Amino acid sequence: MNTITLDSRIYNSVAAYARLHNMSVSEAVETGMQVFLEIIGKNNVAASRPKYYINPKVKALEMGSQCPDDLSLDYKKEWAEILERR
């Protein structure tokens, strides 16, 4: 058996919850910690897994390309200027 330290306000809240649900304070704390660890575990798994599949050929493209420093954010305007020059 291990010991943990709780703030008195938290302990009183857990004790009230335990009385309400006919369980001991240690059972209430143990259940709460299990739920907490399950939630944390799910978040860690979701964060480590990629959200979508990227084809390796496409992923290879991002490694070698560099954008010029003078790249315009308005590509339509830039394209219109190129067409005007022709």
pTM for this predicted structure? 0.48
| Cα separation of the two ends of the chain | 82
Cα dihedral 31, 35, 36, 40, rounded to 10, equals 150
Q: Does residue 1 register a pLDDT over 70? A: no
pLDDT digits (tens, 9 = 90+) for 20-75: 999 999 999 999 999 988 888 776 666 666 677 777 777 777 766 666 677 677 77
